[in-house]
Amino acid sequence: MIGIIDYGMGNLGSVTNAFRFLELDAKIVSSRQEMDSCRALILPGVGAFGDCMRHLVEHDFVESIEGWVRGGKPLMGICLGLQALFQSSEESPDVPGLGIFAGTVKKFDLPRELKVPQIGWNRMVEVQPDCPMFEGIDDRSFFYLVHSYYVFPANEAIVAGRTDYGVDYCSSVWHENVFATQFHPEKSQSAGLRMLRNFWNWAEHTY
């Protein structure tokens, strides 16, 4: 069973529908107690970094997520759920992130012809082609993005995929039991659905 964390800011409907379409077991998790029956977690998110962290605190998920990761259990972050894994963001400079990964979140500083936020389809170049979430997905496949900020990891070794939008930025990370994407797999048609299935398989057979 995969738990989709509901802290008041996630794209729960589309993520839940994607797993339902794939006929894979997933449920919405609204409290830390409900995490106990899950093999893996998904941290979705849309909106602002500061609001995200405030909601995670209010819903008592911060220590639960940190403990989940320290315990070696699989976690997948999506969009704002990726950004929240880092230490800080230029969007909300005084608000600490979860700090699962060292690094920060930067705002796009782009030529005028490139609109911010980036909205639409873009390619992901696989940096770690052995990542189990990339199985059966062609390198440079298109995924759907909506964002004005991007993660800047302190450790390049965790970068799993990169995307070019005026700047070559990290669009997915993978380290041990944590995988996360800036793009929305649940909105990315066949490649994205395959990625979600890969995560489910990885969590089911590895942990």
What amino acid positions are annotated as catalytic residues? 79, 184, 186
CA count, 13 A, side-chain hemisphere, 88: 6
Number of neighbours of residue 104 by Cβ within 10 angstroms: 18
Looking at residue 34, the DSSP 8-state letter turns out to be: G
Looking at residue 18, the DSSP 8-state letter turns out to be: H
> What's the gap between Cα 46 and its chain centre?
11
Tokens of 26: 């997933």
CA count, 13 A, side-chain hemisphere, 61: 28
CA count, 13 A, side-chain hemisphere, 184: 24
Residue 117, preceding peptide bond in cis (omega within 30° of 0): yes
